[in-house]
Structures are given as C-alpha cells and as structure tokens.
Amino acid sequence: MTLRLISHRPADTEVTRTGALIEDAAVDIAAALDYSGLDLPDHRCIGSVAALLACPECLEVVRHALEDPAEEALIEDADILAPIPWPPKLFCLATNFMSHMQESVSQRLQGGEQKRELDTPRVFMKPSPNTVIGPGAPLRLSAVNRFVDYEAEMAVIIGTPAKEVPVEEAAAHVSGVTILNDISERELVIWERQEERDWDRFFDWLNGKWCDGFAPMGPCAVPVEDVGDPDQLDLTLRLNGEIMQQANTREMTFNVAEIVSYISMICTLQTGDVIACGTPAGVGKNRGIRLQHGDMMEVEIPPIGVLRTPVLGPE
C-alpha cells in the first residue's frame, strides 16, 4: 500500500492534523489509530507529516491502521493543506533540466546559448509562509502581475537533518516526495528604472518567485520507499487539459543526492525542509502563454497524484 500523507484542518478550527488519501477518500490518521487500537512509538509525530515521514517505525504503524480504517475516521469537512504547510526552508533549483536552460532567461543573462550542463547547482529560496498553498487552493493573481507562468517540479522532503553530507550518504536524508509548482512572474516591474542592468534583471527574476501563492504543493507526500527512485519519475503539467511540460526526473542535471549534498554544505537541512528540484522545458513564457483568470493547472507524478491549481484574477 502506497502511503499518501496529507495535512488537513477541520472546519472551524485552527488545528492542523495529519491524514492520508485512500483512493477517493481522506482518512484522519489519529482517528484511524484510535479505532484500530494501535499506538505510535513516538506521539510527537502524529501532528506533522514531516515528523511522520522522518520516523520509519511510526509509518509502519500508520500503514497497519490504514489497512481497513473505520468509517468514523473519514474526513468529511476539512481544508486540505499542502502536505508540508510551513516548511522551515523552501529551496528551489534553477535550470536543473538542460531543456529548460535552453529556453530560459539565463541565456540572456549569460550572453547567449548555454551549450553544456552546469558544474554546480543554482539554488535559490522562496519565502514559504506566503507562497505555499495546498491542492485545489486558487492562485490569486495580483494587480502587479504581468506575465505569470507555471513550472512543474518534483520536490523532496528532508527527514533526518543533514550537515556537510557527502553525495553517497545524502539520499538517506530524504524521507518523502511531493509535487511543487514553482509559479513565476516573468516580467516583474515594481518601479521603473532609468537604466537596466544585468543584476537588476536577476533580482527581478528572483523576486518574481516570491509573490503570494506562488508555490502550490501537494496533493500529498509519499514516503520515499513507496515512490521508488525519485530520479526516475515521470513529470507532466497540463494547462486547461493540454500537455505543456512532460519529462522524467532522470533528465535532471543534478540528481537528488547531489542536490541534497550540495545544499547541506551551505547550511544545515532540517526535518521538513523542502527542495524543489527544477522544471523541464515547456514553460509558458517561451510559448507566449501567460496564466489568466479561469485557467486550471494540473501537475502529475503518478505515485503522488495530481496537483490541481485554479487561477483567479485580481480582486
């Protein structure tokens, strides 16, 4: 049984609980444990998907509790949040697929076509408190948005903390996998400038990743042992039913272990940190397609499911 873990908030409460998707139903894990008579070896893990993923013994008990969950454990009225609603750190990788590098702004910033893959990963961060939204939550465009674009990505979740970890040991620090859509404003203009500089364009690119709701995540998190090899996953994005991006994570320039090792040399990776591993070719900017009111984005990785995000215009 593939565990598909979710975070949810029951109606009229501010409490976040853990759950699981089973076919078309959502089950509250604490309720399933109660009705099954099972108990977690570490009670601190029950309130957090990140903590559950980092505790193999807890995951085994949860699997048993979900084999035949009681009807009373079904989630009837709740908000389904991102599986990791507030990651301590949210990292992203720029141009980690050669196909995307060849269509991206990095061509202009570096003076022409990139003819070879990178020597080191290009890592940046998103402010998670305002960017992360859950499955089905709408992406609300703002008055400053001019050209908002999609980027389908596989994201990995850190289990045990990692500090200065060699590549050959890095994969052991990954506990789960989810989907992230790295929404991007391609033509950010807040103030007009008298002169354009390359570094100004770089920061426009970076700041264009930070707008509210620009990191849809979900629909669930799957333990890495249930996913198989995260470097061998199909990744597809559909916009209004039409395939825009389609690739496999084996095409990434840097694999998961290399990414985790590299970032761990810069800073300590904590339990629940999320790393989005880059997007393939097919983004809207190159096609002249900008997101607009009424659009529906669907990002799919088969073991995880489909992350759906509707687009709404400015209020």
pLDDT digits (tens, 9 = 90+) for 125-147: 999 999 999 999 999 999 999 99
Task: Give pTM, 2 decimals.
Answer: 0.94
Residue 260, burial from CB neighbour count under 10 angstroms (0-12, 13-18, 19+): buried
Residue 235: how many other CB atoms lie within 10 Å = 24
Side chain identity at residue 284, one-letter code: G
C-alpha closest to that of 89 among 215, 307, 304, 271: 271
C-alpha R_g of the chain: 20
Q: Which residue has the higher pLDDT, 79 or 104?
A: 79
Q: Mean pLDDT lowest for which of 41-45, 63-67, 117-121?
A: 117-121
**pLDDT at residue 103, as a whole number:** 60
CA distance 89 to 303: 24
What pLDDT is recorded for position 195?
87
Quick one: pLDDT at residue 13?
87
pLDDT classification of 315: cutoffs 50, 70, 90: confident
The topology under which CATH files domain 90-312 is Fumarylacetoacetate hydrolase; domain 2 (3.90.850)
Burial 140-161 (b: 16+ CB within 10 A, else e): bbeeebebbbbbbbbbbbbbee
Read off the pLDDT of residues 199-255 as tens digits, 9 standing for 90 and up.
Answer: 999 999 999 999 999 999 999 999 999 999 999 999 999 999 999 999 999 999 999
**pLDDT tier for residue 109 given thresholds of 50, 70 and 90:** very low
Alpha-carbon span 153 to 303, nearest angstrom: 14
User: Would the CA dihedral through 204, 210, 212, 216 be positive or negative?
Assistant: positive
Which part of the chain has CATH 3.90.850.10? 90-312
Using DSSP's 3-state secondary structure scheme, residue 60 falls into: helix
**Amino acid 101: pLDDT:** 60
E strand segments, 121-173: 122-126, 132-133, 139-140, 148-149, 152-158
* Predicted local distance difference test score (pLDDT) of residue 104: 63
Per-residue confidence (pLDDT) for residue 254, from 0 to 100: 96
Does residue 46 register a pLDDT over 60? yes
The stretch 104-124 carries a mean pLDDT of 67
Please give the structure tokens belonging to residue 94: 């720029």
